[in-house]
Amino acid sequence: MQNVTIDQPDSPPVDFWHSLHYFNLYRLTLASFFVFLAGAFASSLSLNPENWMAFFSISLLYATVAALSFIPLKLHWPRFNLQLAGQIVTDIIALNVLAYINEGMRSSVGLLLMVSLAAAGLISRGRISLFFAALTSIAALLEHTYEVLHGDAEVGQYVQVGLLCMAYFAVAWLAHTMAKYAVDSQQLAQRRGRDLVSLSEANRLVMRDMQDGVLVIDGEGVIMQMNARAEQLLRKTIDSKSPLSATFPILFGQYALWKQSGSSSRNTIQLDVGLEARLRFVSIERDAANGAVIFLEDMRRVRAEAQQIKLAALGRLTANIAHEVRNPLSAISYATELLQEEAGDVRHQRLLQIVLDNTQRINQIVQDVMQLNRRDRAQPEVFDLTIMLRTFVEEFNSAERSGPGVIVVAGEVRGEVSFDRDHLRQVLWNLCRNALRYGSTLPGSVLLLAASTEEGRVMLTVEDDGPGVSADQQGKLFEPFFTTAPDGTGLGLYIAKELCEANGALLEYQAGKTQPGACFCITFGYLRRDGERHGHGE
């Protein structure tokens, strides 16, 4: 047997119940006033004892029902429309009975029903206000008809009753119209509120992911908003509502000059040692007096992007040239080898060997240049770094014939890295070959150390016990065609760095940590695919 779910009508919003609560509080106050009036000013009502007792009893009953109505209001049961209808019907009956007891139309008690009709229209958002007006009009007509038939009311007062009924419908229609406008205004305000929340969230996400630093300041120079990139560039985290003049005086001076003349004295500003940013001011509105947005563009990133564009163009050019050079180079090398077989003179043999050595060196440069295109074909895979390092050391020792124990793998990293295996093998091969070239080649002279950084990333260092790199040469290590070896091509470290960046890693030089020689560090997962660095907390 299948379970059948019966959909319950949607419950009205909480503010509906609050409005009904306050309306019932008004009813209780009105009924209590009638009880007080009947008890304290009985002589002023001009009622005989029998009518006075009826007036007092009906008022007391009316007050009691109004007081008991708070219980279902608190429980929200039965549903909203039934409770509203019950309260309005109670008002119609009670006030018409009180009007009949107190001289009918002449008492003007029926006018109080207009308040109930207006409240019902506003509370129910105008959905059944005209129905309540019809019930009230019928009750007024029945009450006056009964008074004409069994009392001393005049038939001519039907005109007053008719006008009163028209007033009921007018009040109900007015409440219906006002409720409709109120609902439309509320829905519009809710849509605008949602739009503002969406725009605020979109603004926050855009500012958070922008590569430029962004500061939003008001007309008084107080910082209203600041993204994380600006905090990194300015090397300071601040709270909102901080004055720009006290926090960043140099930046405030440029802002004040721009606000006064429409342009700053310089396009760039020195924020720290080695840290320069390009300034750009944009008015929030047409008038700069209402505030501005300050953009800080890191010049290091601009220069790096320009360098990448230049190197990409250079790479394509050199790759094409290398492809064209390779064919004649192979012919020269082959011809030299043939001449070596025929020449018997030692002098000629030496000259031919010089030609052959240089063709081999040129061929090595060509191969290195051709490998630059491999960075765009990276296929990262996830693997255990420690296991890969042990396998690599065995392959390297066998191919390079290095002594046993010269290369030592240290450190145990729990976790895996994402990298192209062939690319990482090529990077490590280049670094280890350089380490053997400048190291002592004694056991333990080359150390491969894997560790975890404070940010939770994996770092691999390749250290040697050689003389290290001088301070004036450290800045040129990763430049293409820079080498200190007489037979080097100067492309090894450059290609290694390019391959690391293609796999989202960072290769950099550091002073030796455990040994006095050179130390190259590979930080995995440090670069995004677009080349933007992200550190801890980003």
| Average pLDDT score over residue span 191-209 | 89
Band of residue 75 on the pLDDT scale cut at 50, 70, 90: very high
| pLDDT, tens only, 424-447 | 988 999 899 888 888 888 888 899
Higher pLDDT, 56 or 7: 56
Q: Is 363 exposed, middle or buried (0-12, 13-18, 19+ CB in 10 A)?
A: middle
- Whose structure tokens read 């009638």? 34
3-46 tens-digit pLDDT: 433 333 456 778 889 999 999 999 999 999 999 988 887 666 66
In one letter, which amino acid is 474? Q
Q: Alpha-carbon distance 433 to 455, whole Å?
A: 30
Residue 197 pLDDT: 92
> Backbone phi, then psi, for 521, in 5-degree steps?
-115, 130
pLDDT at 1: 38
- Evaluate whether 427 touches 396 at the Cβ level (below 8 Å): no
Nearest-angstrom CA–CA distance, 484 and 497: 18
Q: In whole angstroms, what separates CA 63 from the centre of its chain?
A: 55
Structure tokens at 463: 């250290």
Q: Where are the beta strands (DSSP E) in 361-502?
A: 381-383, 407-410, 417-419, 446-452, 458-464
pLDDT of residue 518: 87
User: Which domains occur in the chain, in start order?
Assistant: 14-188 (no CATH), 210-302 (3.30.450.20), 306-374 (1.10.287), 378-523 (3.30.565.10)
> 208-212, 405-409, 515-519: which has the minimum mean pLDDT?
515-519
Q: Is 24 left (phi over 0), alpha (psi -120 to 50) or beta?
A: alpha
Question: At CA 405, angle to CA 400 and CA 406, rounded to 5?
Answer: 55
When pLDDT is cut at 50, 70 and 90, the band that residue 310 belongs to is confident
Q: What pLDDT, on a 0 to 100 scale, did the predictor assign at position 2?
A: 40
264: pLDDT confidence band, cut at 50, 70 and 90?
low
Three-state DSSP at 436 gives helix
What separation in angstroms does the CA of 411 have from each of 357, 492, 513? 41, 26, 14
Give the separation between CA 21 and CA 74, rounded to whole angstroms.
9
- Residue 262's alpha-carbon distances to 102, 135, 282, 283, in angstroms, are 79, 71, 10, 10
Residue 238 DSSP symbol: -
**Is the per-residue pLDDT at 165 higher than 60?**
yes
What mean pLDDT comes out for the span 344-373? Answer: 74
Residue type, position 530, single letter: D
Top-confidence residue, 361 or 513? 361
Please give the mean pLDDT across all residues of the chain: 82
Which residues, listed in sequence order, are joined to residue 222 by a DSSP beta bridge? 243
pLDDT band at 89 (very low <50, low <70, confident <90, very high): very high
Q: Please compute the mean of the pLDDT values over residues 375-396 and round it to a whole number.
A: 83
